[in-house]
Amino acid sequence: MKYFSLNDRTHNSSFENAVVRGIAPDKGLYFPEEIVKLPQSFFKELQNSDKFQIAFEAIKGYVGSEIPDADLKKIIETTLDFDFPVVPVKGNIGSLELFHGPTLAFKDVGARFMAGSLGYFIKKGNIGKVTVLVATSGDTGGAVANGFLGVDGIEVVILYPKGKVSEIQEKQLTTLGQNITALEVEGAFDDCQSMVKRAFLDDEIKKKRQLTSANSINLARWLPQMFYYFLAYKQLANKGQKLVFSVPSGNFGNICAGMLAREMGLPIDHFIASNNVNDVVTQYLETENYEPKPSIHTISNAMDVGDPSNFVRILELFDNEFHTLKNHLSSYSFGDDETRKAIKDVYTETDYIMDPHGAVGYLGLQKFLKDHPDYYGTFLETAHPVKFLETVEGVIKEKVEIPESLEGIMDKQKKSLQISSYEDLKGYLLS
């Protein structure tokens, strides 16, 4: 499989090069030259296949021979080493729980797959040591730190805004040690982000280190997210109803992977992009006018994105045909008060506890189903409610149980370096 840049169709790249670079030299996102169409036999065998086989068949065409089958299978086994259940919530609504991984958010899958792929290419010896440099507002950092921990040839440097991530998130970033370094930045997430961007353009740093990014524009983080939809479909196929998925969206990587799965032949009828008040895409589908805005802080903070980077990939999937896109994608936006009320109502009615991101997904689904009662709807529960303890406990007025996997982390010693300027970051990367 070759990949082109969405800024320049004549540019082409191997999978390896695209994963190592993250983004094309012209700053375009990489996109596959062909969408893999899965054969009938794949769907016939689905119920008898395990999650590793399903994932392998789904992604193999995108990796080609660049990672040998045996190694790709090993990477997938590590990536999917936990469960992806669809839990019935009520009536024709289920929750696809994507939070059973080590850092309790869906980003574990992409981070682990990317660590495995990059680790393989380094071991093969074509590329030297790599520094993964990443800014986080919370979940990305933990998943990346955990996924890349102990991978030979990779050093991970994570920037996070001091005092602006939850206590659990900070522990996940700062207590691992080994090849992971956490830089605690005096400033906001946007400051972390702009320091990272500047470092990528800095020749002095580039002479000293091979930098790559681990955000969702990287193919190796984006593509494996299609697994969720195949694994959910296996559990939903016997419903005998049309299927709709509601995806709480920020940078639109997750939903775009779902829509890619659909183009590959997975029978999902419709998608809903559920947004908080950062509603660029909701507005776009109403007006056909794409207008980025500065992001607004909300309680579903992983979706506080004013200019979602992966949306161009969705447009490309539909050949930029607005009306075709609208037939397959709806989008709604909800404020924090509605989100809190949804958490409370669903808990009161069913005992099911949603995190603020899942709750936005639930709201979008509920709205769609009102006009389309013949569908079975699934919302993606993208993080465990315990990651947003204050909000969730404040709403349901009860303690949320802390999963076993997290016990222990709270007692570990935080280790971070404090920085307050780009010069500090540069000094660290050159030292």
Of the candidate spans 125-133, 154-162, 228-236, 242-250, the one that interacts with ligand PLP by CB under 6 A turns out to be: 242-250
The residue (of 22 and 67) whose beta carbon lies closer to ligand PLP is 22
Active site residue 162: no
Give dist(CA 185, CA 422) in Å, integer.
10
Cα-Cα-Cα-Cα dihedral sign, residues 259, 255, 224, 201: positive
Label the pairing between strands 329-333 and 130-135: unpaired
Bridge partners of residue 377, in order along the sequence: 93, 244
**Residues between 86 and 145 that touch ligand PLP (CB under 6 A):** 105, 107, 139
Is 246 among the residues that bind ligand PLP (CB under 6 A)?
no
Of the candidate spans 37-45, 178-186, 245-253, 260-268, the one that interacts with ligand PLP by CB under 6 A turns out to be: 245-253
The residue (of 30 and 121) whose beta carbon lies closer to ligand PLP is 30
- The conformational region for residue 64 under phi > 0 = left, psi -120 to 50 = alpha, else beta, is left
Is 254 among the residues that bind ligand PLP (CB under 6 A)?
yes
Number of residues that bind ligand PLP (CB under 6 A): 16
Q: Which of 107, 171, 234, 387 is catalytic?
A: 107
Bridge partners of residue 212, in order along the sequence: 132
**Residues between 310 and 339 that touch ligand PLP (CB under 6 A):** none
Which of 382, 386, 391, 425 touches ligand PLP by CB under 6 A?
382
Alpha-carbon separation of residue 373 from 91, 95, 127 (angstroms): 10, 17, 53
Give dist(CA 10, CA 26) in Å, integer.
12
Q: Any alpha helices (H) in 211-303, and if so which ranges?
A: 219-222, 226-236, 253-263, 280-287
Is 249 among the residues that bind ligand PLP (CB under 6 A)?
yes
Q: Which two structure tokens, joined as six digits, stand for 146? A: 């955990």
Which of 383, 395, 396, 429 touches ligand PLP by CB under 6 A?
383
Bridge partners of residue 134, in order along the sequence: 158
> Which letter does DSSP use for residue 383 in this model?
B
Q: CB 248 → ligand PLP: shortest distance, Å? A: 5
Match 């320049």 to its residue by tokens: 8
Give dist(CA 158, CA 137) in Å, integer.
10
The residue (of 116 and 142) whose beta carbon lies closer to ligand PLP is 142
Which of 32, 224, 248, 377 touches ligand PLP by CB under 6 A?
248
Report yes or no: 189 and 195 within 8 Å, Cβ to Cβ: no
Is 303 among the residues that bind ligand PLP (CB under 6 A)?
yes
Which of 218, 357, 362, 376 touches ligand PLP by CB under 6 A?
357
Q: What are the residues binding ligand PLP (CB under 6 A)?
A: 105, 107, 139, 216, 248-254, 302-303, 357, 382-383
Which residues are known catalytic residues? Answer: 107
